[in-house]
């Protein structure tokens, strides 16, 4: 059956053999987190994993619901992984996708509330207030097409054309194959994203080809396809076709999305604003 997952790591785990030409894997680990980096550099690798060429970093940790502390090894590897994908200079546009009215899909909007926007601050003001040099960051939460009547990709493309960022960071909820990935996993990649692909509602791709600038996608899996879950539990495809239209999410999804959004936002802020301490960033972005 067609197993639904947005995670390159899970795609790789499903392969009958570990070594594929043009697919390189490396690992890094600390006391709180394990990072697996998969680099796809060949068409054979693209076909095997069903993912475009690029770099995919998967961070695995304990559940976000187990601790209120975020400034640990999880944050360290998130900052390091994101820094490795970001251009060193230039304005960055953060596009937080999702629907704030649907809990499993609310990671993007919740994250947007915690991103430090700085593009509007004049450089003269920075000097007058003796602020450290801040990197220009713009943030948008474009909502969903069902509410706006506009494709998310069209909104981001229009803003990108206007402000000309050096790159775009896109945040969205993802789908996983395994329930153990929900609320314990973050994926970063430099290949962009197809909004809604996790729930079978693909929209216009948001990537370097469509925007003309590098696109970094960050996401947390919050749902598992019901048919995929049934297959994993029983080894058989469900007879009831309605399973293909159902998604499963944990009962504590609200905590997962809130904690996950805070972690991603803090990682983005720290990776972009190198001249601010974590304490300063937390104080500036706290509600």
What are the boundaries of each domain within the chain?
8-276
64-73, 161-170, 185-194: the lowest-pLDDT one: 64-73
Q: Could you tell me the pLDDT band of residue 171, with boundaries at 50, 70 and 90?
A: very high
Please identify which residue in the block is written with the tokens 């960050």.
Answer: 218
**HSE on the CB side for 107, CA within 13 Å?**
28
pLDDT at 201 over 90: no
- Residue-wise pLDDT for 52-66, tens only, equals 999 999 999 988 776
Q: What is the pLDDT of residues 17-50, one digit of tens each?
A: 767 889 999 999 998 899 999 999 999 999 999 9
State the Cα torsion 207-250-38-203 to the nearest 10°.
Answer: -20
Considering the chain, what percentage of its residues have pLDDT values greater than 70?
93
pLDDT tens-digit readout, 234-258: 877 777 666 667 889 999 999 999 9
**Was domain 8-276 assigned CATH 3.40.50.1450?**
yes
Read off the pTM: 0.92
């Amino acid at each position: 059956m067609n197993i639904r997952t947005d995670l390159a790591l899970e795609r790789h785990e499903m392969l009958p053999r570990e070594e594929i030409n043009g697919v390189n894997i490396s690992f890094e680990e600390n006391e709180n987190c394990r990072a697996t980096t998969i680099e796809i550099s060949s068409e054979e690798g693209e076909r095997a994993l069903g993912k475009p060429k690029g770099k995919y970093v998967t961070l695995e940790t304990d559940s976000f619901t187990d601790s209120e502390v975020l400034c640990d090894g999880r944050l360290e590897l998130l900052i390091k992984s994101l820094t490795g994908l970001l251009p060193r200079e230039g304005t960055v546009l953060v596009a937080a996708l999702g629907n704030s009215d649907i809990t499993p899909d609310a990671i993007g909007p919740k994250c947007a509330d915690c991103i430090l926007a700085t593009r509007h601050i004049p450089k003269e003001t920075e000097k007058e207030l003796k602020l450290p040099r801040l990197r220009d960051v713009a943030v948008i939460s474009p909502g969903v097409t069902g509410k706006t009547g506009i494709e998310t990709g069209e909104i981001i493309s229009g803003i990108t054309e206007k402000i000309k960022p050096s790159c775009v960071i896109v945040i969205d909820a993802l789908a996983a194959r395994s329930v153990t990935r929900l609320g314990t996993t973050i994926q970063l990649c430099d290949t962009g994203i197809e909004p809604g692909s996790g729930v079978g509602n693909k929209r216009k791709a948001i990537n370097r080809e469509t925007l003309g600038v590098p696109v970094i996608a960050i996401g947390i899996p919050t749902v598992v396809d019901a048919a995929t879950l049934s297959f994993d539990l029983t080894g058989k495809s469900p007879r009831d076709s309605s399973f293909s239209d159902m998604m499963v999410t944990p009962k504590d999804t609200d905590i997962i999305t809130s904690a996950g959004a805070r972690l991603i936002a803090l990682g983005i802020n720290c990776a972009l604003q190198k001249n601010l301490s974590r304490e300063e960033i937390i104080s500036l972005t706290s509600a």
